[in-house]
A = this chain, B = another copy of it.
């Protein structure tokens, strides 16, 4: 498959260079070795490896799920081959320090590189992506020795990583975790418990698997305050780092999913007694950082993982859009409305207004979402490398408030894009001969994992909007208003859209005050999901106004560039005309402090 069916290289160039001006980052010491050319080379490499090694077995991995024979997990050989190719690119350490073998790429560029793999094969890409999150967490919170022992082999592609949070009785409610860790005399711990939904939890794709596990130390406080984080490898290492005895981490079974089928998803038992490392019960674990800091540490990974989920959702939406566009251009069916002569040739379906509607909607969703994901990547670079501390703080705060939106908006609307991609294909889209049905199934996981849609809503309205006295929301609205002000000065169409965005931003401010002014958290949070969805649409409208300004700054080129820019302009229009107005009734409901769901008694169902 050509990489042009995965993402648009032209769009990435526009977003990264014309809009976000990433080449300027090379003025900073951390990125001084880079240039626009090295960025583009990394993108081209990603596109090529994704198309040649990942896209090629996307369907095969879906049709032939991993199996467990009671002894080990089997995956189709193309997965291992793709992961080896990925390890060769060095992208696992794309953003890491050169000291540990990293490429020191800006996060925004790395995000664009990784999106190619998510578009090509989201379930094979999950293995290195989980490993990446794991390694980054250890780089931030692990000791030098832990980094040396566990991160280096991950960067080299020899070890893979997981995150083990959920338990059968505690999915969204981490306060109810019961896995426990018993301290040993030698400073290690022994872990006992069952973990659920562990992606990449067992396989033969790497020499070892480094589990990051949340568990309770004896005597700690109840709830989330008593959770600590442990490294629990599948295979223990000898003193010299060589693979030693099997740790007591046992695969109970594989979950069989609707999509994402190529990624093993497991139930794992820790300390069940199947293996008794060094003759004693329990899975050997190593505490990361201080006791009882597990949740905060894991949130470090989780925030990154949430943006990653949004990026994956975007990539799946994007590739579905491109495939449905290609289909619409070549599939003849029917005639224009005005042509009632059945003897004239049929036209390609892209000629029908309703098909163009479905394409334009997809375009506005997936390009809007991609803009947000890259904007977040750019913020992360700002947070890490801005010369002035106040700028780093601002970036951190803005990133924090945007995270639930960057996770949930693409998960909702790029899934909707995949639904439209099926519809454009008609009956063919409903068959497994075309990719779009798989994208739709794969994408359906994204509103669930790493915190459900409803959890993101509570995070936004219950935490992010109130933190630091509301400074995060204030900063977001101020940043959006700054764009509107620039657009206002630009006059023309941008000024018109700026006016509409300004109205929407005012409604966000009013509604937020009203909700939190009730003094009744239950009432305030009753419609948190509506709030998340309305604010999400305002944020994406902002992303489209930003893109429109970048278009207007591009002058008046001719040829394919003119078409590209006209398409951006049209998608911006579409979003402001067809999408942003959806928020009107949502804001009305929020403002009315609607109690419909709150007042519904269970016995009424």
Contacts and interface: CB of A to CB of B under 8 A. Distances in A.
Interface string A563-597: 11011001001100110011011001100001011
A337 B521 contact: yes
A598 B430 contact: no
A600 B329 contact: no
Contact of A563 (B335, B343, B423, B603): B603
Interface string A406-421: 0000000000000100
B604 A570 contact: yes
Contacts of A334: 172-173, 175-176
Nearest to A560: B603
Given A354-B529, A597-B356, A598-B353, A169 B342 contact: no
Interface string A520-535: 0110011111000000
A444 B426 contact: no
B600 A570 contact: yes
A422 B437 contact: no
Contacts of A337: 462, 521-522, 525
B222 A342 contact: yes
Interface stretch (A140-148, A156-164, A446-454): A446-454
A374 B89 CA distance: 60
A601 B566 contact: yes
A239 B295 CA distance: 80
Given A166-B427, A582-B582, A336 B522 contact: yes
Nearest to A362: B605
B605 A577 contact: no
Interface stretch (A41-49, A252-260, A376-384, A396-404): A252-260
Given A521-B338, A589-B577, A448 B431 contact: no
18 contacts: A172-B334, A173-B334, A175-B334, A176-B346, A197-B427, A223-B342, A258-B422, A258-B437, A353-B528, A354-B457, A356-B602, A357-B529, A422-B444, A423-B448, A441-B441, A563-B601, A566-B601, A584-B585
Interface of A: 166, 169-173, 175-176, 196-197, 222-224, 255-259, 325, 329, 332-338, 341-343, 346, 350-357, 359-360, 363, 419, 422-423, 426-427, 429-433, 437, 440-441, 444-445, 447-449, 452-454, 457-458, 462, 521-522, 525-529, 563-564, 566-567, 570, 573-574, 577-578, 581-582, 584-585, 588-589, 594, 596-605
